[in-house]
Chains A and B, each alone.
Chain A
Amino acid sequence: MLMMIRSSYKTRSVHIVNCLLKQRFYTIQNKGARIGTKFESKQDIDDFLDSNKWDGQELLQSSTECDPSKVPTAPPSDEMIYKLLKLSGLSQKGIDMEEIRTTLTNQIQFIDLLQNVPLSEEEQKYDTNYARLLPRDNKPLKYNEILKLIETQKKNKQGSEISGSWNPTSLATISVNNYYILKKGLLKNRN
């Protein structure tokens, strides 16, 4: 009985702390991110770090383990693996099909977690080029502006390569008379 009371007391305390922590985030910023009131004491910090612990297995488990309503990620078929090997420019000879399948399944399940994340209407319209950390505030150039830029363009002395300064075929393992060689057969079978 005493244990039950203690347990209930503990649960209630955790609940109160959680409620207070929710209040801590007073600044409702846009995009879902928030800033809270400053920590006043070491205990404040410790409580915050302890009470916000989350289960890292959420990332490691497949999406269906987190959400049973989701259709499980199917292991890639032989056909798909051959297709990926071809796309990757890798050999299809002497491969361990089961090892590739298991590894790919683990990797695909991991990234498939994103499929469960809903996007807002605004986010669906995003120009995804800006995910590449480019200036977002661009205005299109007008015809006259392009002409002016061409007129005032200066040649970059450092930026340009001096023609003939090096022989590209010298870097090739196999080359003949400054030509790259792909395959002997291609030459042999030409009529």
Chain B
Amino acid sequence: MSKQQLINKIFFSVKNNVETPLKITGQQLLTYSLKDNICVKAEDDKTTCNSSMLWEYKSPFNSTIYDILSKESNLKFIGKTRLDEFAMGSMGINGPNFNPKDVLNPLFPDRVPGGSSSGSAASVSGGLVDFSLGTDTGGSVRLPASWCGTMGFKPSYGKISRYGVVDMAQSLDTVGVISNDIDKIYHVFKLLDQYDPKDTTSLPEELRFRPPQQDLKSEWKIGIPREICIDLCDPIIWNKFEETLHKLLSVPGVTLHPVSIPSLKLSLPIYYTLCPSEVASNLARYDGVRYGSREKNEFEDQDNDTDITLFASTRSKHFGKEVKRRIMLGNHTLSSGSYQNNYLKAQRLRMRLIDEFNSIFQVRNVLMGKTEIKTNSDEGIDFMLVPTSLTPPPKMDDVVKSQTNKQQEENPVTNYMNDFFTVPMSLAGLPTISIPMSLKSNLGVQIVGQYGDDYKVLNFAKNVMINSNVST
């Protein structure tokens, strides 16, 4: 496949040529792409979220992350990439007028790229850019990175500004970095890791500091949660994970421990209670009146209109199927009959999960302050290791077939299971990187650290998992 064909399948818009000089004034020039839910202000550039609703939308402002990157002379923006509509999906196939030929996993062309940051991961694994920024709400950076055979880093929630990133679920949305090179991920994260007064969820300055010696340890305790031993995990993934743990066992300074986090099993129902509720709330703004697409006949007066809601036909036409499903589920959860039993219950169980994570990590969670009582902290672990996905990437043909199967189509829950290994870290906001379990493999493993331990996670990934050949 030619480079131009690759670009056509992966990018929505291209600002600069991918064929750029490797160096400028002695510095290495790095190219990057952005997921198309990250706003860039430009006369001719759109931020579509791969939705018919925002198909012509031009942002009047830049996202903070684009502003930071565009000030760096050695970074060159190439363009905006594909995604699942409004970042909802795990296959990379949700969006208007979906055609399987338009979606690509460059290293494994018969497979889906994964989602929702499908184009971000594909632009890196296809060698079109050095790094890409995506968004990760329940695994949307880590899963496509894994299925495209590259690395995806989801930092601690609140570390990177979300200003100018289109909201999906604001208590979970996190900007993440995808690259084939761990040093580039480190470099880009360091640039973006700063407090932003424009983002009300940005982590305050005083909570960002971590003693540097914490990040450069030479002895590590790794926890393997027993709740990840789910029988739905494909044996190919499971065997490879076992092999990775065997290799780690022989690395000097590393000890592996079983851990138990009982609420981890409940993560998916918690996530699919809270996330659609936030989706329903955030996407209520799309009425076609102030911005976004507008269904023309809605402008006219219709005497026999059964839709009392003014903008109903606009929203019905311009939102895709999965988006509408999540909005309806979210409104069910938030409605008076369900709020107490579902929404508040899920919030409380999310707090329980966070507390359970806190109790097994050696380091205190910076968000807890004095509220966290730590006992036996020296016995806590530094990281957890968990596979990234339940299965290798499915074949595109099989996914297309399943869309025509009425029974499968009406049960989105089976697709939600793809997020089983990634959602717990999103709920707790933990820094997590997915790296291939072997070179150019589409089977990933996640390294998970305590909240705020982002650099420690990246150092461990580089110095132990990659340099000690555990994941090669």
Q: Are A88 and B327 in contact (CB under 8 A)?
A: yes
**Segment from B22-30, B141-149, B184-192, B364-372 that makes contact with A:** B364-372
**How many interface residues does chain A have, given as a range?**
35 or more
Give the contacting residue for A36; candidates B57, B257, B451; CB below 8 A: B257
Report yes or no: B258 in contact with A39, Cβ–Cβ below 8 A: yes
Q: In the complex, A92 Cα to B410 Cα: how many Å?
A: 19
Which residues of chain A in 12-54 are interfacial with respect to chain B, using CB atoms and an 8 Å cutoff?
A: 21, 24-25, 27, 29-39, 41-42, 45-46, 48-50, 52-54
CB distance B229 to A29 under 8 Å?
A: no
Contact A107 B413 (CB under 8 A): yes
Pick out which of these stretches binds chain B: A1-9, A143-151, A165-173: A165-173
Measured in the bound complex, the distance between the Cα atoms of B325 and A107 in whole Å is 9
In the complex, A184 has a CB within 8 A of chain B:
yes
- Please tell me which stretch of B12-20, B85-93, B101-109, B340-348 contacts chain A, meaning at least 4 of its Cβ atoms lie within 8 angstroms of it: B340-348
Contact call B328/A92, Cβ cutoff below 8 A: no
What chain A residues lie within 8 Å of B354 (beta carbons)? 131, 133
Question: Given A30-B375, A128-B347, are A88 and B352 neighbors across the interface (CB < 8 Å)?
Answer: no
Q: Does A71 contact B (CB under 8 A)?
A: no
Provide the residues of chain B in CB contact with A164, threshold 8 Å. Answer: none
Whether B328 lies near A90 (C-beta < 8 A) is yes
Of the candidates A39, A42, A89, A184, the one whose C-beta lies within 8 Å of that of B315 is: A89
A79 contacts B by Cβ under 8 Å: no
Given contacts A27-B376, A53-B229, A123-B348, contact A183 B262 (CB under 8 A): no
Do B289 and A172 touch (CB < 8 A)?
yes
Q: Check: B260 CB closer than 8 A to any chain A CB.
A: yes
Partner of B368, one of A119, A137, A186: A137
Give Cα distance in the complex from A102 to B428, angstroms: 31
Query: Cβ of A142 < 8 Å from any Cβ of B?
Result: no
Nearest-Cβ distance from residue B318 to partner chain A, whole angstroms: 11
Residues of the A chain whose Cβ atoms lie less than 8 Å from the Cβ of B439: none
> A87 at interface (Cβ–Cβ under 8 A)?
yes
Residues from chain A with a CB closer than 8 A to the CB of B298 are: 183
Asked whether A53 lies within 8 Å of B359 as measured between CB atoms, the reply is no
Q: Give, as a whole number of angstroms, the nearest-CB distance from B450 to chain A.
A: 13
Q: Measured between alpha carbons, how far is A189 from B303 in the docked complex, in Å?
A: 12
Q: Is the CB of B348 within 8 A of A131?
A: yes
Interface mask (B279-315 → A, CB under 8 Å = 1, otherwise 0): 0100010011111111000111110001111111101
Q: Does A68 contact B (CB under 8 A)?
A: no
**Residue from B241, B261, B367 within 8 A of A136 (CB atoms):** B367
B246 within 8 A of A: yes
Partner of A119, one of B290, B302, B333, B345: B345
Q: Contact partner of A29 among B242, B302, B360, B417, CB < 8 A?
A: B360
Asked if residues A48 and B231 are in contact (CB atoms below 8 Å), the reply is no
A92 touches B347 (CB 8 A): no
A166–B342 CA distance with the chains assembled, in angstroms: 42
Q: Is B157 an interface residue (CB 8 A)?
A: yes
Question: A136 near B273 (CB under 8 angstroms)?
Answer: no
Tell me the bound Cα distance from A184 to B302 in angstroms.
10
Q: Which of A21, A85, A189 contacts B328 (CB 8 A)?
A: A85
Name, among B366, B376, B429, the residue most crowded by chain A CB atoms within 10 Å (CB to CB): B376
| B369 closest partner in A (C-beta) | A137
Indicate if B230 sits at the interface (CB-CB under 8 A): yes
Q: Which of the four size classes fits the interface of chain B?
A: 35 or more
Instruction: State in angstroms the CA–CA spacing of A181 and B296 once bound together.
Output: 12
- What residues of chain B lie closer than 8 Å to A60, measured between beta carbons? 413-414, 417
Q: Is the Cβ of B272 less than 8 Å from the Cβ of A111?
A: yes
Chain A residues within 8 Å of B369, by CB? 135-137
Nearest residue, chain A, Cβ from B56: A173
Contact of A107 among B197, B329, B335, B371 (CB under 8 A): B329
Q: Separation in Å of the A191 CB from the closest CB of chain B?
A: 15
Q: How far is the CA of A115 from the CA of B348 in the complex (A)?
A: 12
B266 cross-chain contacts in A, Cβ below 8 A = 113-114, 117
Within the complex, the shortest CB–CB distance from A118 to chain B, in Å, comes to 11
Q: Which residues of A contact B375 (CB under 8 A)?
A: 29-30
- In the complex, are the beta carbons of B259 and A135 less than 8 A apart? no
- Please state if B324 and A90 are interface contacts (CB–CB under 8 Å): yes
Residue of B nearest to A76 (CB): B332
B119 touches A (CB below 8 Å): no
**Cβ of B355 under 8 Å from chain A:** yes
Q: A35-B380, A172-B291 are in contact. Are A184 and B329 (CB under 8 A)?
A: no
Interface status of B3 (Cβ within 8 A of chain A): no
Chain B positions within 8 Å of A, measured between CB atoms, are 57-58, 60-61, 157-158, 171, 197-198, 201, 204, 207, 221, 223-224, 226-227, 229-232, 238, 241-242, 245-246, 249, 255-263, 265-266, 268-270, 272-274, 280, 284, 287-294, 298-302, 306-313, 315-316, 319, 324-325, 327-329, 331-333, 335, 341-342, 344-352, 354-360, 366-371, 373, 375-376, 379-381, 410-414, 416-417, 420, 428-429, 451
Starting from the known contacts A84-B331, A84-B335, A110-B416, 13 additional A-B residue pairs (CB-CB under 8 Å) come to: A30-B373, A33-B261, A35-B380, A54-B229, A90-B327, A110-B272, A114-B349, A158-B198, A171-B291, A173-B288, A180-B289, A183-B298, A184-B300
Would you give 26 A-B contacts (Cβ < 8 Å), ordered by A? Answer: A25-B258, A25-B260, A30-B355, A30-B359, A33-B260, A34-B259, A35-B257, A38-B256, A39-B255, A42-B249, A48-B224, A49-B229, A50-B229, A53-B229, A87-B335, A88-B331, A91-B313, A91-B316, A107-B272, A112-B342, A114-B273, A131-B351, A173-B288, A173-B294, A181-B289, A181-B299
The 5 closest A-B pairs by CB, nearest first: A137-B369, A185-B301, A56-B232, A91-B316, A128-B347
